[in-house]
Each structure stands twice: as C-alpha cells, then as structure tokens.
Amino acid sequence: MADKFDDEPEMEESPLDDSPEVDSLPPAPVQTGPSYRERLLELRENRLVWQGKILPAFWTIASTISMVTTIVLIIVLIVLLNELFTLKSLIGGQLLGGLQTNFQQMDAATIKTTVIVDDTITVNDTIPVQFTLTLNQNSNVILTENTTIPNTIVTLNGVRVPTDIILPAGTILPIALNLEVPVDQTIPIFLEVPVHLVVPVTIPLNETELHQPFTGLQGVVAPYNALLAETPNSWCESGWLLCWLFGGDN
C-alpha cells in the first residue's frame, strides 16, 4: 500500500495558491431562495397565472385593463354629473343671467348729474338802433353867445316902449320841450359778462348711441341663457331613476 501511494505522481502546487491577490478577493455570495428560473417555473405551474395558452391570456389581461379603465371612467363621470347643476348655476344663473340682467339695466339707466358753468363771455358786436324819442318836459338852456331879441315891448314906468333886447352869453332860459326826435344809429358793444350757471342734466341711455350696443349684447347672451333655463335644475326633474341614483339634493 505504501508503494502504491509512492508511485502516484505528486501534484504540483499552483503558483496562485500563495498569491496575495487571491486571498484578498471577497467570498462569493451564497444564493438563498429559489432562482429566477425556478420562480418562472412555479408561475407557469400555477393555473391561475398561466394556462399554457397565449390568446386566452392576452384576452384576460385586455379585459382586466378594460374593466379597470371603465370603472375609473364611471367614477369620473359620476363626479362630473354631481357637479353638473353647480356648473349650470354658475354659468347660467350668475354668468349669462347676470350679464343679460346688467345689460338690460344699463340700457334702462339714466345719467343724472349737475353741470356747473363758471366762465366769462366776451361780447364784441354792433347793434343797430332805430326808434323815435319823444321829449315832453321842462328844461333850462344856456345861451352860448349874445342873442338879440328885436321889437320887444318893454314897460317902463307904465309906458310900453318897443326896443331891441340883447341877452348876453351864459344866460339861463327856462323852456318847455315838446318834440319827437328820430334815432337811427349803430351802437358798438364790447362787454365781458361773467356767467355762473348750475344746470341739472338728465340723460336716458336708451335715447343715446349706447342703446344699440346694449341691445346687441342682450341679443348675444339671451339665446344661451334661454337654452340653459330649459335644462332641469336637479336630478329629480330629469327622472326618478336619476333622482334615485344621484339623490335629490343636487
């Protein structure tokens, strides 16, 4: 037996056995649990996951996705339907109805204010004057020069003596005027007249140029407002089935 072992060739030691690089390598990870192939085989053996038929599997997956999508869409539709009458109230009652009502009120409105005019008016013109001036009054006249009164009878000591009398300039003579004076003249006028006026103003808008735009805007909004007014205000007005499904509070 000793000879047999002696005849066996001695195994040469690998130069890598004592290499420091081999000693520094981390140990290989120890695999725990089933491998990927083993898990795949387990899924294939499960009849609920894989039945060995490609087409039924495709239709099953497609049907599942379709059902999930349909359920999501139905939930979204129910949420939107619950907000339908809220949207109608906002759009029809407040937006369109409010616009139409305000346009009607604006067309029927009246502007009332007070205009204060504080200015100076300059008058520069000529006025023709034609009339007859009647004079009938007592007055005094002053002689501007010596005036001779011939053949004047003067009484001296009871004796009437004819003579000529000279009235000196500056003599004041009382007279009685009774005459008509025609007046035909053009009188120039230059005046600066201060003006201060408080003028109340009332302007109905339906009698101005704004009437046509207001009625035009009413015509634009009115069809949509009438269309929304014809729609129901709650699910119960739409039918008993919708009232039962969505309730009568909406």
pLDDT in tens, the chain (250 residues): 444 444 444 444 444 444 444 455 555 555 566 676 777 666 666 655 555 566 666 777 888 899 999 999 988 887 777 777 777 777 777 788 888 888 888 888 898 899 898 889 898 889 898 888 888 888 888 888 888 888 888 777 777 888 888 888 888 888 888 888 888 889 888 888 898 889 898 989 888 888 888 888 888 888 888 887 777 777 776 667 767 766 655 4
13: left (phi over 0), alpha (psi -120 to 50) or beta: beta
* pLDDT of amino acid 72: 93
**The model's pTM:** 0.39
Residue 110 tokens, joined: 């009246």
Q: Among 195, 194, 49, which residue's Cα sits nearest to residue 117?
A: 195
Cα–Cα distance, 209 to 57 (Å, whole number): 75
**Structural contact between residues 250 and 235, judged by C-beta atoms closer than 8 angstroms:** yes
Task: Using DSSP, state whether 137 is helix, strand or coil.
Answer: strand
Cα–Cα distance, 50 to 41 (Å, whole number): 10
Handedness of CA 135, 141, 145, 147 (dihedral sign): positive
Cα–Cα distance, 81 to 92 (Å, whole number): 16
Domains of the chain by residue range: 35-82, 95-246
* pLDDT of amino acid 19: 46
* pLDDT of amino acid 53: 63
